[in-house]
């Protein structure tokens, strides 16, 4: 029988390896940025066109490579990070697999310019589909410049699976965040299609977080610091009141490497137990320093999942460290039984003079019901058409009209019984009802609509009862209204007397610019969009001025988690997010007119039976079903 096992050609093996290493343009960005960091760069530039499908370029000022190293770097299993198997357990660098450049070169057009000297002389290498096209001497400054063009040009199936540019750019920005947050001592620049998205100078960790996520983040951070023999923890957590329904700003770094760990995430959530609402998640930026020999990072191609020798101890330390920080900075309520009562005394209390009790003087002879003494002076009254005159300037010039006074205070109550009897005989003429504008028959008059537990609206129909979920019903009404306004672009807007100013990070700003037309169709009016500043001069008619900032912030948070690809799905997602934020809440009281309007509007929609999130809005109970309950 003929042999059937054979060795794969190098270009096929490289494409298979690329399937693990390079899943999308963001994977290329991650590998190239990590290589630049390992090269000791202090300034890194990332240039992207068409969300990385056309061009991904990373320029650094690191050590660079010699001519031999430059050619060898595109070979499989070529790395400068490890020499023996034992080195896998003492890793303190980023890339060590030795397959990144080989995998990238197998599925794209790659051009590398590198130099390891200051003589402006280096090496240029061009690769296409894993094959060396050219290797030349070129003029380049110290460092390395990697250009990756036409990603997946030789694998059309993989290219067809890529999402829209907005979605792929979102993934690139996520990877960029994970790298720059772990290395605040390195300056980064990020350009997309010729426009600058990020320009991050060298800073500390807190400044880097503020530069990435905007100035509004600074007031939300609570420092966390703990040093133990197992792990050293530093970083920040968000205050409980800034928790979100989406998992947004949540970052774990182990030895300056971003990781994903649901187990450690649960530890942070346990520290916030009782401080945040259900179904909300706290934000955090936690940096862990662990002995490299106590963890294994070589279990996943992307190296975002690691194993600890003692996860339970690290879990307990993280939970206690976060909880201690929340109490230390008076974010969480604490009971301090060791408080020294002397600390409550002012410092200079012993030098202060004794406080004196204020004295109260009372005129015991004063009687408010005593007759006023008669005023002496000239009083004149004009009985021939004049009024009483007053002239000031001296005691003799005062003139007051004479007022009759009763002899004593008991006279105030004389005749009170007679007044009661006289009022009891008064009759009020009732208004004669001539008729009603809307004649009501007996059946419509018996129709009632009322609110049950401030959550459901109960109304009667001919066949029985209808029980409506007020929140879901309002969501359906708002959803179709917003979708109609965005379709015909005729959303009504109410102008604000004082515009609302918001501060957004570059990611949120780019998302807002993409959704600007759809938001303006719903009624938002943006008078200024510059840098990180946003000025809102108009909001939809059903959005109050106080809720405008909250609604827009929640909208951007939801869209960052699930960015739609097409215009219709974008409008649909926008309408669903707005209706979720603006719909009436469970537990909110509705008057009779509001309930009746909500019922009428619900059954005027196209799909009144389900909410925009595919949940039932109402249930019906027929009279027969009610009768069966009493059998």
**Averaged pLDDT, groups of 10, the chain, 631 residues long:** 71 63 88 90 95 93 89 77 56 61 88 90 91 91 93 85 84 92 95 90 94 87 92 93 81 90 91 86 92 73 74 92 86 60 54 69 80 52 43 44 54 60 52 48 57 91 90 93 78 82 79 80 81 83 78 75 60 82 87 91 92 92 90 82
Task: Give the pLDDT score at 487.
Answer: 77
Task: Give the pLDDT score at 90.
Answer: 57
**CATH assignment of 214-328?**
3.30.230.10
The kind and range of the H/E element at 24 are none
Distance between CA atoms of 64 and 144, rounded to whole angstroms?
5
**CATH assignment of 451-620?**
3.30.1370.100
Residue where the block lists tokens 């960015």? 563
Task: Give the pLDDT score at 390.
Answer: 43
Nearest alpha carbon to residue 477 among 380, 580, 387: 580
Question: Long-range contacts: 295-298, Cβ < 8 Å, 24+?
Answer: 295/254, 296/89, 297/91, 297/254, 297/257, 298/88
Write the secondary structure of 73-106 as one string of H (helix), E (strand) and C (coil).
CCCCCCCCCCCCHHHHHCCCCCCCCCCHHHHHHH
Contact 468, 605 (CB under 8 A): no
Angle in degrees, 0-180, between the axes of helices 470-488 and 567-582, rounded to the nearest 10: 140
Distance between CA atoms of 326 and 510, rounded to whole angstroms?
33
Distance between CA atoms of 499 and 100, rounded to whole angstroms?
50
Distance between CA atoms of 129 and 382, rounded to whole angstroms?
116
Task: Give the pLDDT score at 19.
Answer: 58
Nearest alpha carbon to residue 283 among 265, 301, 299: 265
Q: Report domain extents, the chain.
A: 10-200, 214-328, 451-620
428: CB partners within 8 A, 6+ apart: none
- At 556 the three-state DSSP class reads helix
Residue where the block lists tokens 């947050």? 181
What is the greatest pairwise CA distance in the chain?
144
476 torsion bin: left (phi>0), alpha (psi -120 to 50), beta (else) = alpha
Task: Count CB neighbours of 215 within 10 A.
Answer: 13
Task: Give the pLDDT score at 567.
Answer: 53
Distance between CA atoms of 144 and 59, rounded to whole angstroms?
6
The residues pairing with 56 across neighbouring beta strands, listed in sequence order, are 48, 148
Distance between CA atoms of 25 and 27, rounded to whole angstroms?
5
Name the pTM for this structure. 0.68
**CATH assignment of 10-200?**
3.30.565.10
Contact 332, 323 (CB under 8 A): yes
Question: What are the tokens at 354?
Answer: 């004794």
Task: Give the pLDDT score at 436.
Answer: 44
- At 531 the three-state DSSP class reads coil
């Amino acid at each position: 029988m003929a042999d059937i096992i054979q060795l794969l050609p190098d270009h096929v093996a490289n494409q298979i390896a690329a399937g693990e290493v390079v899943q999308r343009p963001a994977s290329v960005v991650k590998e190239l940025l990590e290589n630049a960091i390992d090269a000791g760069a202090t300034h890194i530039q990332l240039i992207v066109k068409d969300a990385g499908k056309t061009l991904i370029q990373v320029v650094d000022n690191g050590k660079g490579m010699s001519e031999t190293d430059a050619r060898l770097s595109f070979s499989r299993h070529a790395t400068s990070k490890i020499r023996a198997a034992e080195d896998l357990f003492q890793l303190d660098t980023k890339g060590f697999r030795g397959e990144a450049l080989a995998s990238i070169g197998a599925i794209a057009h790659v051009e590398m310019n590198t130099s390891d000297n200051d003589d402006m002389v280096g090496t240029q290498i061009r690769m296409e589909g894993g094959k060396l096209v050219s290797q030349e001497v070129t003029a380049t400054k110290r460092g390395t410049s990697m250009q990756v063009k036409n990603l997946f040009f030789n694998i059309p199936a993989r290219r067809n699976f890529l999402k829209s540019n907005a979605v792929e750019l979102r993934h690139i920005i996520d990877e960029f965040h994970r790298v720059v947050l772990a290395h605040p001592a390195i300056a980064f620049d990020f350009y997309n299609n010729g426009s600058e998205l990020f320009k991050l100078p060298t800073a500390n960790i807190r400044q880097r977080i503020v530069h990435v996520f905007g100035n509004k983040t600074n007031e939300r951070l609570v420092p966390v610091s703990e040093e133990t023999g197992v792990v050293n923890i530093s970083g920040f957590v968000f205050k409980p009141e800034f928790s979100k329904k989406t998992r947004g700003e949540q970052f774990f770094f182990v030895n300056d490497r971003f990781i994903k760990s649901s187990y450690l995430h649960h530890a942070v959530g346990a520290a916030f137990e009782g401080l945040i609402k259900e179904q909300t998640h706290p934000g955090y930026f936690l940096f862990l320093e662990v002995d490299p020999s106590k963890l294994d990072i070589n279990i996943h191609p992307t190296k975002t999942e690691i194993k600890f020798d003692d996860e339970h101890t690290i879990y307990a330390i993280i939970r206690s460290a976060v909880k201690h920080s929340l109490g230390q900075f008076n974010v969480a309520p604490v009971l301090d039984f060791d408080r020294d009562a002397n600390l409550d005394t002012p410092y200079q209390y012993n030098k202060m003079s004794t406080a004196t009790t204020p004295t109260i003087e009372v005129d015991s002879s004063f009687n408010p019901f005593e007759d006023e003494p008669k005023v002496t002076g000239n009083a004149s009254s004009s009985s021939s058409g004049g009024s009483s005159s007053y002239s000031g300037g001296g005691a003799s010039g005062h003139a007051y009209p004479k007022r009759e006074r009763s002899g004593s205070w008991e006279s105030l109550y004389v005749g009170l019984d007679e007044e009661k009897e006289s009022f009891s005989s008064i009759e009020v003429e009732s208004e004669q009802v001539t008729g009603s504008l809307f004649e009501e028959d007996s059946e419509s008059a018996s129709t009632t609509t009322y609110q049950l537990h401030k959550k459901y609206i109960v109304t009667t129909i001919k066949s029985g009862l209808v029980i409506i979920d007020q929140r879901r019903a309002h969501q359906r009404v708002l959803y179709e209204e917003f979708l109609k306004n965005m379709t015909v672009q005729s959303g009504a807007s109410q102008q604000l007397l004082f515009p609302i100013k918001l501060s957004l990070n570059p990611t949120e700003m780019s998302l807002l610019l993409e959704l600007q037309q759809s938001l303006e169709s719903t009624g938002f009016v943006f008078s200024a969009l510059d840098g990180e500043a946003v000025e809102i001069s108009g909001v939809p008619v059903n959005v109050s001025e106080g809720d405008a900032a909250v609604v827009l912030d929640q909208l951007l948070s939801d869209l960052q988690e699930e960015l739609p690809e097409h215009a219709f799905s974008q409008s649909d997602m926008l309408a669903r997010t707005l209706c979720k934020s603006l719909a009436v809440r469970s537990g909110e009281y509705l008057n009779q007119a509001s309930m009746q309007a909500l019922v009428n509007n619900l059954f005027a929609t196209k799909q009144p039976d389900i909410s925009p999130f595919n949940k039932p809005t109402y249930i019906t109970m027929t009279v027969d079903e009610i009768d069966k309950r009493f059998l």
